[in-house]
Amino acid sequence: MTPAGAPTVFVIDDDALVRAAIQGMLKSVSLQAQTFGTTQEFLHSKRSDGPSCLVLDVRLPGVNGLDFQRELAEAGVRIPIIFITGHGDIPMTVKAMKSGAVEFLTKPFRDQDLLDAIYQALDRDRATRQQQKELAELRKRYQSLTTREREVMGLVVSGMLNKQVAFELGTSEITVKIHRGHVMRKMQAESLAELVRMAAKLELPPGKK
C-alpha cells in the first residue's frame, strides 16, 4: 500500500519493457509507480489522492497521447504530464507544451532527464493541491458570512470608506464598523490588504459603487 500523501508516478506505455524499466528506475529512488498499457486501464484504476504525475507515451493503441491530454483537461483531471515518444517532432512538442505538459522527451532519453521532469511535475502538483486546499478553506470562511456581511465585504474591498458603505447600504457608520469587524474575524484577515487578496482569490464580483 502507498502511504497516505506519498507521491505516485503513473506510467502509460504500450511497451511492457519500457514500463518495467521506468518502474525499476523509480523504485531505485523510492518513488511509487503504477503502470498501464492503455489509457483505459488508467481511467478505470483506483488512484491514490496524494501528489502525482503522468508519464505518457504519445503513440498508444486507439488514442493519441496529445488527444488524451486534452480529454483529461476537459474532464477536469488536472495532473501534470510528461510525454515520452520514439517519434517526436517540433510541432508535436510545441502543442504538448502549450497545453501544459511539463516535459517532452524523445526515446532514448537519459534516466536523469526523466527523473528531473518527474520531480518538477510532482512539485507542481503539490503546489496546485496546496492552492486548492487554501481556496476551499477561504470559500468555507466566506460561506460563514451573512448576506449583509458579504455586501459590506464587497464594498470595503472595492475601496469604499465606512461612511460610503453606510450611505450605499442605507445604514449607520457604526453598524458598518460592526459588520466589518465580523468580516475580518470570520475571514481571519489581519488587514484590509489581506482581505482584498482573499476577495481576489475568491473572484468575487466587484462591490457596487
pLDDT digits (tens, 9 = 90+) for 86-98: 877 788 888 888 8
User: Which grid cell sits at 25?
Assistant: 528506475
Query: How high is the pLDDT of residue 207?
Result: 59
Cβ neighbours of residue 38 closer than 8 Å, sequence gap 6 or more: 12, 14, 60, 61, 62, 63
Strand partners, 35: 11
- Residue 76 burial (CB count, 10 A): 6
Query: How high is the pLDDT of residue 20?
Result: 96
> Tens of pLDDT along 96-109?
888 889 999 998 89
Query: How high is the pLDDT of residue 77?
Result: 87
Displacement of CA 92 from its chain's centroid (Å): 24
Q: Which residue has the cell 488512484?
A: 47
Q: Tell me the C-alpha distance between 5 and 141, whole Å.
A: 25
Q: Tell me the C-alpha distance between 114 and 208, whole Å.
A: 51
Query: How high is the pLDDT of residue 168?
Result: 95
H or E stretch at 32? strand 32-36
CA nearest 178: which of 195, 156, 193?
A: 156
- Rg of the chain taking only CA atoms, in angstroms: 24
CA nearest 87: which of 72, 65, 70, 115?
A: 65
Q: Tell me the C-alpha distance between 107 and 14, whole Å.
A: 14
Query: How high is the pLDDT of residue 209?
Result: 38
Pick out the chain residues at pLDDT < 70. Answer: 1-4, 206-209
Query: How high is the pLDDT of residue 3?
Result: 57
Reported residue count of the chain is 209
What's 159's DSSP letter? T
Query: How high is the pLDDT of residue 95?
Result: 86
| Amino acid (1-letter code) at residue 206 | P
Query: How high is the pLDDT of residue 151?
Result: 95
CA atoms within 13 Å, Cβ hemisphere of 49? 3
CA nearest 145: which of 185, 205, 202?
A: 185
